[in-house]
Structure 1
Amino acid sequence: MMRSRRLSKDNAYYELKQKIIDSELKPNQAVNEENLAALLGVSRTPLREAIQRLENEDFLVRQPNGRLKVASITVKEVEEVFLVRSMLEGYIARNAAKNATDKDIQKLTVILENIKQSFQLGDNQNFVSYGFEFHDYLSEMSELIVFEKVLNQLRDHALRYCRFVSLHGDWTRQADEEHGLILQMIADRNEDGAEKAMRDHIISSLSIALERIRGIEE
Protein backbone atom coordinates (compact mmCIF):
# COMPACT_ATOMS: atom_id res chain seq x y z
CA MET A 1 0.00 0.00 0.00
CA MET A 2 2.79 2.39 0.99
CA ARG A 3 4.40 2.00 -2.42
CA SER A 4 1.28 2.94 -4.39
CA ARG A 5 0.60 5.88 -2.10
CA ARG A 6 4.10 7.18 -2.65
CA LEU A 7 3.63 6.72 -6.36
CA SER A 8 0.37 8.66 -6.45
CA LYS A 9 1.95 11.44 -4.36
CA ASP A 10 4.89 11.69 -6.77
CA ASN A 11 2.61 11.44 -9.79
CA ALA A 12 0.43 14.25 -8.47
CA TYR A 13 3.56 16.37 -7.95
CA TYR A 14 5.05 15.71 -11.41
CA GLU A 15 1.75 16.11 -13.25
CA LEU A 16 0.87 19.33 -11.50
CA LYS A 17 4.36 20.72 -12.04
CA GLN A 18 4.21 19.77 -15.73
CA LYS A 19 0.90 21.60 -16.15
CA ILE A 20 2.46 24.73 -14.65
CA ILE A 21 5.62 24.41 -16.78
CA ASP A 22 3.52 23.96 -19.95
CA SER A 23 1.25 26.92 -19.03
CA GLU A 24 -1.80 24.65 -18.99
CA LEU A 25 -2.22 26.24 -15.59
CA LYS A 26 -1.51 29.86 -16.44
CA PRO A 27 0.64 32.31 -14.48
CA ASN A 28 -1.40 33.95 -11.66
CA GLN A 29 -4.30 31.54 -12.21
CA ALA A 30 -6.24 30.90 -9.00
CA VAL A 31 -6.38 27.20 -8.14
CA ASN A 32 -7.98 25.23 -5.33
CA GLU A 33 -7.58 21.72 -3.96
CA GLU A 34 -10.97 20.57 -5.19
CA ASN A 35 -10.36 21.54 -8.82
CA LEU A 36 -6.81 20.23 -8.81
CA ALA A 37 -7.88 16.89 -7.32
CA ALA A 38 -10.48 16.56 -10.09
CA LEU A 39 -8.00 17.66 -12.77
CA LEU A 40 -5.38 15.11 -11.70
CA GLY A 41 -7.78 12.38 -10.60
CA VAL A 42 -6.14 12.02 -7.18
CA SER A 43 -7.39 12.21 -3.60
CA ARG A 44 -6.71 15.16 -1.32
CA THR A 45 -3.83 13.65 0.70
CA PRO A 46 -1.32 13.08 -2.12
CA LEU A 47 -2.46 16.36 -3.65
CA ARG A 48 -1.71 18.31 -0.46
CA GLU A 49 1.81 16.92 -0.34
CA ALA A 50 2.32 17.78 -4.02
CA ILE A 51 1.05 21.32 -3.41
CA GLN A 52 3.42 21.75 -0.49
CA ARG A 53 6.41 20.68 -2.58
CA LEU A 54 5.42 23.07 -5.36
CA GLU A 55 5.00 25.91 -2.87
CA ASN A 56 8.52 25.21 -1.59
CA GLU A 57 9.80 25.34 -5.16
CA ASP A 58 7.92 28.60 -5.91
CA PHE A 59 5.66 27.16 -8.60
CA LEU A 60 2.56 27.73 -6.44
CA VAL A 61 2.04 30.70 -4.16
CA ARG A 62 -0.10 30.85 -1.01
CA GLN A 63 -1.72 34.29 -0.84
CA PRO A 64 -2.33 36.22 2.41
CA ASN A 65 -5.99 35.12 2.32
CA GLY A 66 -4.84 31.49 2.26
CA ARG A 67 -5.86 30.91 -1.37
CA LEU A 68 -3.51 29.35 -3.87
CA LYS A 69 -2.41 30.66 -7.22
CA VAL A 70 0.10 29.68 -9.87
CA ALA A 71 3.32 31.69 -9.55
CA SER A 72 3.49 34.70 -11.83
CA ILE A 73 6.04 35.18 -14.56
CA THR A 74 8.22 38.18 -13.81
CA VAL A 75 11.04 39.99 -15.54
CA LYS A 76 13.04 39.98 -12.31
CA GLU A 77 12.83 36.22 -11.86
CA VAL A 78 13.58 35.39 -15.49
CA GLU A 79 16.68 37.63 -15.32
CA GLU A 80 17.95 35.95 -12.16
CA VAL A 81 17.28 32.41 -13.40
CA PHE A 82 19.05 32.98 -16.71
CA LEU A 83 22.01 34.86 -15.23
CA VAL A 84 22.69 32.09 -12.71
CA ARG A 85 22.29 29.54 -15.51
CA SER A 86 24.78 31.40 -17.70
CA MET A 87 27.43 31.22 -14.97
CA LEU A 88 26.83 27.58 -14.05
CA GLU A 89 26.33 26.30 -17.58
CA GLY A 90 29.30 28.22 -18.93
CA TYR A 91 31.52 26.28 -16.56
CA ILE A 92 29.65 23.05 -17.35
CA ALA A 93 30.33 23.56 -21.09
CA ARG A 94 34.02 24.18 -20.30
CA ASN A 95 34.21 20.84 -18.46
CA ALA A 96 32.19 19.08 -21.13
CA ALA A 97 34.79 20.22 -23.69
CA LYS A 98 37.54 18.88 -21.46
CA ASN A 99 35.85 15.49 -20.96
CA ALA A 100 34.27 14.99 -24.41
CA THR A 101 34.65 11.58 -26.04
CA ASP A 102 33.89 10.85 -29.70
CA LYS A 103 30.75 9.06 -28.55
CA ASP A 104 29.62 12.22 -26.73
CA ILE A 105 30.14 14.29 -29.87
CA GLN A 106 28.04 11.80 -31.87
CA LYS A 107 25.25 11.93 -29.30
CA LEU A 108 25.29 15.75 -29.24
CA THR A 109 25.27 15.82 -33.06
CA VAL A 110 22.08 13.73 -33.11
CA ILE A 111 20.40 16.02 -30.57
CA LEU A 112 21.51 19.03 -32.63
CA GLU A 113 19.91 17.51 -35.75
CA ASN A 114 16.64 17.21 -33.82
CA ILE A 115 16.95 20.84 -32.68
CA LYS A 116 17.53 21.98 -36.27
CA GLN A 117 14.67 19.94 -37.63
CA SER A 118 12.16 21.17 -35.07
CA PHE A 119 13.33 24.74 -35.71
CA GLN A 120 12.79 24.35 -39.48
CA LEU A 121 9.33 22.85 -38.91
CA GLY A 122 8.46 25.72 -36.57
CA ASP A 123 7.78 23.16 -33.85
CA ASN A 124 8.54 25.44 -30.92
CA GLN A 125 7.79 23.10 -28.05
CA ASN A 126 10.01 20.31 -29.43
CA PHE A 127 12.68 22.91 -30.17
CA VAL A 128 12.66 23.73 -26.44
CA SER A 129 12.60 20.03 -25.39
CA TYR A 130 15.59 19.10 -27.56
CA GLY A 131 17.41 22.24 -26.45
CA PHE A 132 17.06 21.16 -22.83
CA GLU A 133 18.15 17.63 -23.74
CA PHE A 134 21.33 19.17 -25.22
CA HIS A 135 21.99 21.18 -22.03
CA ASP A 136 21.22 18.18 -19.78
CA TYR A 137 23.64 15.97 -21.70
CA LEU A 138 26.41 18.57 -21.30
CA SER A 139 25.72 18.54 -17.54
CA GLU A 140 26.24 14.78 -17.50
CA MET A 141 29.45 15.08 -19.51
CA SER A 142 30.84 17.74 -17.18
CA GLU A 143 30.68 15.39 -14.16
CA LEU A 144 30.21 18.46 -11.93
CA ILE A 145 27.86 16.94 -9.37
CA VAL A 146 27.26 20.04 -7.22
CA PHE A 147 26.76 22.26 -10.27
CA GLU A 148 24.22 19.80 -11.62
CA LYS A 149 22.31 19.76 -8.31
CA VAL A 150 22.08 23.54 -8.14
CA LEU A 151 21.16 23.73 -11.81
CA ASN A 152 18.39 21.17 -11.31
CA GLN A 153 16.68 23.51 -8.86
CA LEU A 154 16.53 26.17 -11.58
CA ARG A 155 16.01 23.91 -14.55
CA ASP A 156 12.23 23.59 -14.39
CA HIS A 157 11.77 27.32 -13.82
CA ALA A 158 13.93 27.98 -16.89
CA LEU A 159 11.93 25.39 -18.83
CA ARG A 160 8.69 27.10 -17.83
CA TYR A 161 9.98 30.44 -19.13
CA CYS A 162 11.19 28.89 -22.39
CA ARG A 163 7.85 27.13 -22.95
CA PHE A 164 6.03 30.37 -22.15
CA VAL A 165 8.16 32.25 -24.70
CA SER A 166 7.38 29.54 -27.29
CA LEU A 167 3.64 29.98 -26.78
CA HIS A 168 3.96 33.66 -27.70
CA GLY A 169 6.08 33.50 -30.83
CA ASP A 170 8.94 31.74 -32.56
CA TRP A 171 12.52 31.37 -31.43
CA THR A 172 15.08 33.00 -33.70
CA ARG A 173 17.56 31.42 -36.10
CA GLN A 174 20.24 32.78 -33.79
CA ALA A 175 19.17 30.40 -30.98
CA ASP A 176 19.47 27.52 -33.44
CA GLU A 177 22.94 28.60 -34.61
CA GLU A 178 24.23 29.11 -31.05
CA HIS A 179 23.78 25.42 -30.22
CA GLY A 180 25.87 24.61 -33.30
CA LEU A 181 28.66 26.90 -32.13
CA ILE A 182 28.69 25.32 -28.65
CA LEU A 183 28.98 21.86 -30.20
CA GLN A 184 31.76 23.05 -32.52
CA MET A 185 33.77 24.34 -29.55
CA ILE A 186 33.24 21.12 -27.60
CA ALA A 187 34.19 18.98 -30.61
CA ASP A 188 37.37 21.08 -30.92
CA ARG A 189 38.01 20.52 -27.17
CA ASN A 190 38.17 24.32 -26.92
CA GLU A 191 37.38 24.92 -23.24
CA ASP A 192 37.45 28.76 -23.30
CA GLY A 193 35.42 28.84 -26.49
CA ALA A 194 32.81 26.41 -25.14
CA GLU A 195 32.36 28.43 -21.96
CA LYS A 196 31.96 31.70 -23.86
CA ALA A 197 29.62 30.22 -26.49
CA MET A 198 27.35 28.81 -23.76
CA ARG A 199 27.25 32.03 -21.75
CA ASP A 200 26.49 34.08 -24.87
CA HIS A 201 23.75 31.63 -25.84
CA ILE A 202 21.97 31.82 -22.47
CA ILE A 203 22.23 35.62 -22.35
CA SER A 204 20.76 35.89 -25.84
CA SER A 205 17.94 33.49 -24.85
CA LEU A 206 17.33 35.79 -21.88
CA SER A 207 16.97 38.83 -24.13
CA ILE A 208 14.37 36.99 -26.26
CA ALA A 209 12.50 35.93 -23.11
CA LEU A 210 12.52 39.47 -21.70
CA GLU A 211 11.26 40.93 -24.97
CA ARG A 212 8.32 38.48 -25.01
CA ILE A 213 7.41 38.91 -21.35
CA ARG A 214 7.52 42.71 -21.61
CA GLY A 215 5.45 42.52 -24.78
CA ILE A 216 2.81 40.44 -23.01
CA GLU A 217 2.77 42.69 -19.95
CA GLU A 218 2.05 45.68 -22.17
Structure 2
Amino acid sequence: MSNQTEYAYKYIRERILDGTFKPTQKLIESQLSELISVSRNTVKKALLKLEQENLVKIENNKGATIKSFTLEEVKNYLEIREALEGLIARSAAKHITDAEVDALEQLLLRMGDFLKQNQFDEYSKLNKEFHSIIYKASRNIQATEMVNMIKTQLMRFQFRTLLIPGRNESSFNEHQMIFTTLKNHDSEKAEEAIKQHISNVRTTIENNYQYLL
Protein backbone atom coordinates (compact mmCIF):
# COMPACT_ATOMS: atom_id res chain seq x y z
CA MET A 1 0.00 0.00 0.00
CA SER A 2 1.45 3.38 -1.02
CA ASN A 3 1.94 6.14 1.53
CA GLN A 4 -0.95 8.15 0.09
CA THR A 5 -3.29 5.15 0.10
CA GLU A 6 -2.25 4.36 3.68
CA TYR A 7 -2.93 7.96 4.68
CA ALA A 8 -6.36 7.98 3.01
CA TYR A 9 -7.21 4.61 4.55
CA LYS A 10 -6.29 5.76 8.06
CA TYR A 11 -8.09 9.10 7.61
CA ILE A 12 -11.38 7.45 6.60
CA ARG A 13 -11.04 4.59 9.09
CA GLU A 14 -10.52 6.90 12.07
CA ARG A 15 -13.62 8.91 11.15
CA ILE A 16 -15.72 5.78 10.82
CA LEU A 17 -14.59 4.47 14.21
CA ASP A 18 -14.97 7.78 16.08
CA GLY A 19 -18.44 8.36 14.65
CA THR A 20 -17.61 11.36 12.44
CA PHE A 21 -18.78 9.28 9.47
CA LYS A 22 -22.05 7.60 10.39
CA PRO A 23 -23.40 4.07 9.70
CA THR A 24 -25.25 3.86 6.33
CA GLN A 25 -23.59 7.13 5.22
CA LYS A 26 -22.48 7.13 1.57
CA LEU A 27 -18.81 7.83 0.95
CA ILE A 28 -18.44 9.83 -2.25
CA GLU A 29 -15.05 9.29 -3.86
CA SER A 30 -14.86 12.77 -5.39
CA GLN A 31 -15.68 14.44 -2.07
CA LEU A 32 -13.17 12.32 -0.15
CA SER A 33 -10.55 12.97 -2.79
CA GLU A 34 -10.94 16.71 -2.30
CA LEU A 35 -11.18 16.45 1.47
CA ILE A 36 -8.05 14.31 1.87
CA SER A 37 -6.16 15.89 -1.06
CA VAL A 38 -5.46 12.62 -2.85
CA SER A 39 -6.58 11.15 -6.18
CA ARG A 40 -9.90 9.36 -6.60
CA ASN A 41 -7.96 6.20 -7.44
CA THR A 42 -6.18 6.45 -4.09
CA VAL A 43 -9.53 6.84 -2.32
CA LYS A 44 -10.87 3.81 -4.21
CA LYS A 45 -7.93 1.68 -3.00
CA ALA A 46 -8.44 2.89 0.58
CA LEU A 47 -12.14 2.00 0.44
CA LEU A 48 -11.33 -1.49 -0.83
CA LYS A 49 -9.05 -1.98 2.18
CA LEU A 50 -11.85 -0.81 4.49
CA GLU A 51 -14.23 -3.24 2.81
CA GLN A 52 -11.85 -6.08 3.72
CA GLU A 53 -12.21 -5.02 7.37
CA ASN A 54 -16.00 -5.07 7.02
CA LEU A 55 -16.22 -1.36 7.82
CA VAL A 56 -17.45 -0.37 4.37
CA LYS A 57 -19.78 -2.02 1.87
CA ILE A 58 -19.07 -1.43 -1.84
CA GLU A 59 -21.73 -2.14 -4.45
CA ASN A 60 -21.46 -1.88 -8.22
CA ASN A 61 -22.85 1.41 -9.53
CA LYS A 62 -23.75 2.47 -5.98
CA GLY A 63 -20.35 3.20 -4.47
CA ALA A 64 -19.31 2.78 -0.87
CA THR A 65 -21.50 2.91 2.23
CA ILE A 66 -20.42 2.70 5.86
CA LYS A 67 -21.40 -0.69 7.25
CA SER A 68 -24.26 -0.72 9.71
CA PHE A 69 -24.80 -3.60 12.12
CA THR A 70 -28.15 -4.78 13.42
CA LEU A 71 -28.53 -5.48 17.13
CA GLU A 72 -28.57 -9.20 16.34
CA GLU A 73 -25.25 -8.92 14.50
CA VAL A 74 -23.71 -6.95 17.38
CA LYS A 75 -24.87 -9.57 19.89
CA ASN A 76 -23.45 -12.36 17.73
CA TYR A 77 -20.08 -10.61 17.47
CA LEU A 78 -19.98 -10.19 21.25
CA GLU A 79 -20.90 -13.82 21.89
CA ILE A 80 -17.97 -14.86 19.72
CA ARG A 81 -15.70 -12.36 21.46
CA GLU A 82 -16.81 -13.65 24.87
CA ALA A 83 -15.78 -17.20 23.97
CA LEU A 84 -12.44 -16.11 22.51
CA GLU A 85 -11.60 -13.76 25.38
CA GLY A 86 -12.32 -16.61 27.79
CA LEU A 87 -9.69 -18.75 26.07
CA ILE A 88 -7.26 -15.82 26.07
CA ALA A 89 -7.75 -15.06 29.78
CA ARG A 90 -7.37 -18.74 30.75
CA SER A 91 -4.05 -18.89 28.91
CA ALA A 92 -2.92 -15.47 30.16
CA ALA A 93 -3.42 -16.54 33.79
CA LYS A 94 -0.93 -19.36 33.23
CA HIS A 95 1.69 -17.34 31.39
CA ILE A 96 1.46 -13.78 32.70
CA THR A 97 4.73 -12.41 34.09
CA ASP A 98 5.29 -10.30 37.20
CA ALA A 99 6.15 -7.36 34.96
CA GLU A 100 2.85 -7.72 33.09
CA VAL A 101 0.94 -7.95 36.38
CA ASP A 102 2.64 -4.74 37.54
CA ALA A 103 1.76 -3.03 34.26
CA LEU A 104 -1.90 -4.01 34.65
CA GLU A 105 -1.93 -2.72 38.23
CA GLN A 106 -0.50 0.66 37.19
CA LEU A 107 -3.04 0.93 34.38
CA LEU A 108 -5.87 0.20 36.83
CA LEU A 109 -4.72 3.00 39.13
CA ARG A 110 -4.68 5.47 36.26
CA MET A 111 -8.03 4.21 34.95
CA GLY A 112 -9.53 4.85 38.38
CA ASP A 113 -8.18 8.40 38.40
CA PHE A 114 -9.56 9.16 34.95
CA LEU A 115 -12.93 7.71 35.94
CA LYS A 116 -13.14 10.02 38.97
CA GLN A 117 -12.43 12.98 36.69
CA ASN A 118 -15.03 11.82 34.11
CA GLN A 119 -12.29 11.62 31.48
CA PHE A 120 -13.89 8.76 29.61
CA ASP A 121 -11.80 9.11 26.47
CA GLU A 122 -8.59 8.64 28.46
CA TYR A 123 -10.17 5.80 30.43
CA SER A 124 -11.10 4.10 27.16
CA LYS A 125 -7.51 4.36 25.87
CA LEU A 126 -6.14 2.73 29.01
CA ASN A 127 -8.86 0.10 28.83
CA LYS A 128 -7.50 -0.84 25.41
CA GLU A 129 -3.94 -1.04 26.80
CA PHE A 130 -5.18 -3.21 29.68
CA HIS A 131 -6.65 -5.79 27.32
CA SER A 132 -3.60 -5.62 25.04
CA ILE A 133 -1.36 -6.74 27.90
CA ILE A 134 -3.68 -9.69 28.55
CA TYR A 135 -3.63 -10.62 24.85
CA LYS A 136 0.16 -10.57 24.80
CA ALA A 137 0.35 -12.59 28.02
CA SER A 138 -1.93 -15.27 26.59
CA ARG A 139 0.60 -16.20 23.86
CA ASN A 140 -2.43 -17.02 21.65
CA ILE A 141 -1.80 -14.86 18.59
CA GLN A 142 -4.59 -16.33 16.47
CA ALA A 143 -7.33 -15.80 19.08
CA THR A 144 -6.05 -12.26 19.67
CA GLU A 145 -6.19 -11.44 15.97
CA MET A 146 -9.80 -12.63 15.80
CA VAL A 147 -10.79 -10.61 18.88
CA ASN A 148 -9.15 -7.47 17.51
CA MET A 149 -11.06 -7.87 14.26
CA ILE A 150 -14.35 -8.05 16.18
CA LYS A 151 -13.39 -5.08 18.36
CA THR A 152 -12.73 -3.04 15.25
CA GLN A 153 -16.26 -3.75 14.01
CA LEU A 154 -17.78 -2.61 17.29
CA MET A 155 -15.42 0.19 18.28
CA ARG A 156 -18.06 2.85 17.60
CA PHE A 157 -20.11 1.37 20.46
CA GLN A 158 -17.25 0.99 22.93
CA PHE A 159 -16.85 4.59 24.08
CA ARG A 160 -20.59 5.29 24.11
CA THR A 161 -21.31 2.44 26.52
CA LEU A 162 -19.26 4.27 29.18
CA LEU A 163 -21.72 7.16 28.97
CA ILE A 164 -24.58 4.92 30.10
CA PRO A 165 -25.30 5.77 33.77
CA GLY A 166 -23.53 3.35 36.09
CA ARG A 167 -21.69 1.49 33.34
CA ASN A 168 -18.33 3.19 33.88
CA GLU A 169 -18.17 2.14 37.56
CA SER A 170 -19.26 -1.39 36.66
CA SER A 171 -16.61 -1.56 33.93
CA PHE A 172 -13.88 -0.53 36.37
CA ASN A 173 -14.99 -3.09 38.96
CA GLU A 174 -14.97 -5.80 36.29
CA HIS A 175 -11.41 -4.88 35.32
CA GLN A 176 -10.35 -5.05 38.96
CA MET A 177 -11.78 -8.57 39.19
CA ILE A 178 -10.00 -9.61 35.98
CA PHE A 179 -6.74 -8.22 37.36
CA THR A 180 -7.09 -10.11 40.66
CA THR A 181 -7.67 -13.44 38.93
CA LEU A 182 -4.67 -12.94 36.65
CA LYS A 183 -2.45 -11.87 39.52
CA ASN A 184 -3.43 -15.08 41.32
CA HIS A 185 -2.79 -17.13 38.15
CA ASP A 186 -6.29 -18.58 38.52
CA SER A 187 -7.14 -19.70 34.98
CA GLU A 188 -10.71 -20.75 35.72
CA LYS A 189 -11.60 -17.54 37.55
CA ALA A 190 -9.85 -15.41 34.93
CA GLU A 191 -11.91 -16.98 32.16
CA GLU A 192 -15.08 -16.52 34.21
CA ALA A 193 -14.28 -12.86 35.02
CA ILE A 194 -13.53 -11.76 31.48
CA LYS A 195 -16.52 -13.62 30.04
CA GLN A 196 -18.75 -11.88 32.58
CA HIS A 197 -17.23 -8.55 31.55
CA ILE A 198 -18.01 -9.11 27.86
CA SER A 199 -21.46 -10.43 28.73
CA ASN A 200 -22.17 -7.22 30.66
CA VAL A 201 -21.03 -5.14 27.67
CA ARG A 202 -23.43 -7.12 25.49
CA THR A 203 -26.31 -6.56 27.91
CA THR A 204 -25.56 -2.83 28.09
CA ILE A 205 -25.60 -2.51 24.31
CA GLU A 206 -28.74 -4.64 24.03
CA ASN A 207 -30.60 -2.47 26.57
CA ASN A 208 -29.41 0.84 25.11
CA TYR A 209 -28.94 0.04 21.43
CA GLN A 210 -31.12 2.89 20.13
CA TYR A 211 -29.03 5.45 22.06
CA LEU A 212 -25.67 4.05 20.94
CA LEU A 213 -26.13 4.31 17.16
TM-score (norm 1): 0.88
**For 1:33 and 1:167, how far apart are their aligned partners in 2?**
34
Q: Which residue of 1 aligns with 2:179?
A: 183
Q: Which residue of 1 aligns with 2:41?
A: 45
The offset of 1:149, in angstroms, is 2.1
In the alignment, which of 115, 118, 123 is matched to residue 119 of structure 1?
Answer: 115
Write out aligned runs for 1:192-211 (5 A): 192-211=188-207
Write out aligned runs for 1:146-157 (5 A): 146-157=142-153
**For 1:209 and 1:124, how far apart are their aligned partners in 2?**
17
* 1:62 aligned onto 2:23: no
The offset of 1:116, in angstroms, is 1.6
* 1:172 aligned onto 2:168: yes
Aligned sequence identity (%): 24
Give deviations 1:79-122, integer Å, cap 9, x for gaps: 11211111111111111111111111111112212222222222
CA contact (8 A) 1:93 1:195 kept: yes
CA contact (8 A) 1:165 1:213 kept: no
The offset of 1:128, in angstroms, is 2.0
CA contact (8 A) 2:162 2:168 kept: no
CA contact (8 A) 2:111 2:123 kept: yes
- Equivalent position SS for 1:172: helix
Residue 172 of structure 1 aligns with an amino acid whose one-letter code is: N
**For 2:178 and 2:38, how far apart are their aligned partners in 1?**
43
Write out aligned runs for 1:30-109 (5 A): 30-63=26-59, 66-109=62-105
For structure 2, list consecutive stretches of 5 or more residues without a partner in the other structure.
Answer: none
Q: Which residue of 1 aligns with 2:10?
A: 14
CA contact (8 A) 1:75 1:214 kept: no
The offset of 1:211, in angstroms, is 2.0
Distance 1:208 1:10, change over 3 A: same
Identify the range of structure 1 (79-88 vs 32-41) with the bigger mean alpha-carbon deviation: 32-41
**For 1:181 and 1:11, how far apart are their aligned partners in 2?**
39
What is the number of residues matched between the two proteins? Answer: 213
For structure 1, list consecutive stretches of 5 or more residues without a partner in the other structure.
Answer: none
The offset of 1:26, in angstroms, is 1.2
**For 1:109 and 1:39, how far apart are their aligned partners in 2?**
42
Residue 149 of structure 1 aligns with an amino acid whose one-letter code is: E
Distance 1:54 1:164, change over 3 A: farther
Distance 1:169 1:15, change over 3 A: farther
Q: CA RMSD in A?
A: 2.1
CA contact (8 A) 1:78 1:161 kept: no
TM-score (norm 2): 0.90
